[in-house]
Chains A and B, each alone.
Chain A
Amino acid sequence: MRITFPYMGSSPLVFKQLFAELGHEVVVPPPPSKHTLDLGTKYAPEFACIPFKILLGTYLEAIALGADTIVSTGGVGPCRAGYYGELHRRILHDLGYNNVRLLILEPPLRRPRDFLRVLSTLVEGPLNWLRLPGILHRVWTKLSALDRVEKAAHAIRPYEITKGETSRVYKECLKAIDAATAVAEIRAAESEALARLAKVPQDTTRQPLKVALIGEIYVVFEPFANHNVQIMLEEMGVYAERSIYLAEWTLGNAVVPGEKDIKGAARPYLSELVGGHGLNSIGETVIYAWRGFDGVIQLAPFACIPEIVAKSILPRVSRELNIPVLTLFLDEQTGEAGIRTRLEAFIDLLAARRKKREGQVAWAAI
């Protein structure tokens, strides 16, 4: 099998090792680009959301590179994404790629049988089953290391003196972690990366505004889908925290039932599952308000029902907990200039609020 998978943040480095260790040939898809989105938009239904289009484009690019098996994830609850695997399969079939298999990993806690069936296709032979715990240990170590290093980079960027320096160092660190495969190697690469990032020259006298990024997982996670908002904010000197990191998310959603605190925080405003990450968007906004963040940015694919439901509830959360919320809807028509204008205005708003709170002239020197 020549396996490929969706591209999402730094996770391809992990999937690459996982499938290679299971003895498969791996076709790492190219990072999403305008070309990916053009391909996806061309063959997807017009009203499908942007994650669907980017994934479809990614699959087509990977097939062109020789992939014959696509491994993706399913979903539960009233969000269309649960059907997307099936829809992708049919579109690929209609395009004549009859020999391409699409394997969909369903959440193991909700649909254990489907999960095991697909897993046994991927883990061929008894020898592999014996090796599986070791493989998972290494892959998990890598996933957690990548999350920690990325978090460190995000924490440093608002303080960097030379714009772009953190990103440059981070890119090199990723290469080193990618090259490491054994647990000890991965840990060493992680320590090295954290040490190198700490050496990026910083101006620690800055007091950055704190903004949280919440919303639908794919557009929160994959910078291409959100026009790189997290780094854009950080380069404006804002501390931007993303609600979702893959290791934590996998742990809380696929391995053990988790996110109880998020659901609890959302309860005064929303107690029903509305599909996708709608409930999380409410709960996370509440938690970020408690944590004293200056503002929250909701990232949502255009026409995403769960996020539309969340958006209609967020004004109340915003008012009652006194935390400004900006919603950005994203699709293939979204222009970077429009996003930048809204982000800048939102940052001005937050800065003026802070100045006013501190008893200064709100608009001076913004």
Chain B
Amino acid sequence: MGGYLGVDVGSVSTNLVVTDEEGEILASLYIRTQGQPIAAVQEGLAQLEKKVPAGLTIEGVGTTGSGRTLAGVVVGADLVKNEITCHAVAAARLVPDVQTVLEIGGQDSKIIIMRDGVVTDFAMNTVCAAGTGSFLDHQAQRLNVPIEEFGSYALRAKNPVRIAGRCTVFAESDMVHKQQMGHSLEDIIAGLCEALVRNYLNNVGKGKEILPPVVFQGGVAANVGIRAAFEKALGLPVYVPKHFGVMGAWGAALLAREKMRANPQPTRFRGFQAAHLEYKTSSFDCTGCSNQCEVISISMEGKVVASWGGRCGRWENLS
């Protein structure tokens, strides 16, 4: 049996998906990147191999996320694709008439507007990470509430407080202030969820025409409080897919499948054994011209397999 692999290396999490011949998810994995994308991809491959049905051969691999190029070298990708396209493709596969995709990850958030199955507009947060998963993580820790329960606290709120959500630093001091005033934890958490949603809609979603069906994905979609706040702010039902956390990786796998079917060729996948190879990176500042590019080289088992980062193409080598 054949299948396809998708790998999404983000700032906070690394997600892997294996699909069957038709693109349906057979196995998926969501682990922390912890600042070490190569190690995370290798760990992911090792864990995923145990979850994959015996006798499955990978016929195509796609990588995405901010670490997509690096991940592409480590696993041997047939397709390296930006995360916006991947998220859109996965959402459209699940909900073919989707018109709006809300995606909030560890350190970035995006909105994708689709019409008739095609992306017509998109935006990503530019200024700061306020309202993304890392901030929620941090606040959950500070309030001593497990992140998994954060959302259900919000749902129990009777009277959500108003919190300044523009900036994480101000949001935090505002929350401290509200705590000292004696507001309940539930009301504060619900207020925070609403503030983040307000911030998202005013910044990332500014000027975008948000029409149903609305699909909400990315790690933060696990938070029922944020989902409820979106439904309240938009006045629309918000659909959270079962595999909300790995939609980017699924999209990468689906695109790899499209590509390999359109143009059949052997996959470049290094196999699950790539989990046990030794990868090393090194970098230097090129002094060839005034651009002073930071050039990165990746070696596998002591042999340079790729380098990039230069503007002039002198060092580019993405074999």
Contact = CB atoms under 8 A, between A and B. Distances in A.
Interface of A: 30-35, 163-164, 167, 224, 228, 312, 315, 318, 324, 329, 337-338, 340-342, 344-346, 348-349, 352-353, 356, 361-366
B82 interface: yes
Interface in B244-268: 255, 258-259, 262-263
Given A348-B82, A352-B118, A356-B116, A164 B313 contact: yes
Contacts of A324: 120-121
A31 B290 contact: yes
Interface in B98-147: 116-122, 124, 126
A362 B122 contact: no
B116 to A, nearest CB: 7
Given A33-B290, A329-B126, A163 B258 contact: no
Contact of B84 (A31, A34, A167, A341): A341
B82 A363 contact: no
B124 A342 contact: yes
A363 B258 contact: yes
Given A324-B121, A342-B84, A348-B82, 9 more contacts: A32-B290, A167-B312, A318-B121, A329-B126, A348-B84, A348-B119, A353-B118, A365-B258, A365-B262
B311 A228 contact: yes
B258 A364 contact: yes
Contacts of A362: 117-118
30 contacts: A31-B290, A34-B292, A35-B292, A163-B313, A163-B316, A164-B316, A167-B312, A228-B311, A324-B121, A337-B66, A340-B82, A341-B124, A342-B124, A344-B84, A345-B82, A345-B84, A345-B119, A345-B122, A348-B81, A348-B119, A349-B118, A349-B119, A349-B122, A352-B118, A363-B255, A363-B258, A365-B258, A365-B259, A365-B262, A366-B81
Nearest to B259: A365
A364 B126 contact: no
Given A30-B290, A338-B124, A363-B255, A345 B262 contact: no
Nearest to A343: B82
Nearest to B313: A164
B13 to A, nearest CB: 17
B238 interface: no
Contacts of A364: 258, 262
A42 B81 CA distance: 36
B83 A341 contact: yes
A228 B84 CA distance: 21
Contacts of A32: 290
Nearest to A344: B82
A contact patch SS = helix
Given A33-B292, A341-B84, A349 B120 contact: yes
Contacts of A224: 291
B199 interface: no
Nearest to A313: B207
A31 B117 CA distance: 44
B299 interface: no
A187 to B, nearest CB: 29
Contacts of A342: 84, 124
B114 to A, nearest CB: 10
Given A324-B121, A348-B85, A356-B118, A33 B291 contact: yes
A175 to B, nearest CB: 14
Interface string B183-202: 00000000000000000000
Interface of B: 66, 81-85, 89, 92, 116-122, 124, 126, 207, 255, 258-259, 262-263, 290-292, 311-313, 316
A258 B24 CA distance: 58
B118 to A, nearest CB: 5
Nearest to A163: B313
A329 B82 CA distance: 19
Given A345-B85, A345-B122, A353-B118, A366 B66 contact: no
A33 B292 CA distance: 7
Contacts of B316: 163-164
A147 B101 CA distance: 42
A9 B171 CA distance: 43
Q: Which 8 A-B pairs have the closest CB atoms?
A: A164-B313, A345-B84, A365-B262, A344-B82, A348-B85, A33-B290, A349-B119, A315-B207
Contacts of A318: 121
Contacts of B118: 349, 352-353, 356, 362
Contacts of B290: 30-33
A34 B286 CA distance: 13
Most buried by B among A30, A163, A340, A344: A344
B303 to A, nearest CB: 23
Contacts of B207: 312, 315
Nearest to B314: A164
Contacts of A35: 292
Nearest to A337: B66
Nearest to B251: A363
Nearest to A35: B292
Contacts of B82: 340-341, 344-345, 348
A164 B312 contact: yes
A51 B92 CA distance: 41
A348 B92 CA distance: 15
Contacts of A346: 122
Contacts of B292: 33-35
Contacts of A315: 207
B87 to A, nearest CB: 10
Nearest to A345: B84
Contact of B66 (A312, A341, A344): A341
Contacts of B117: 356, 362
A361 B118 CA distance: 10
A31 B291 CA distance: 8
A167 B289 CA distance: 14
Nearest to B84: A345
B313 A366 contact: no
Nearest to B79: A366
Contacts of B258: 361, 363-366
A315 to B, nearest CB: 5
Nearest to B208: A315
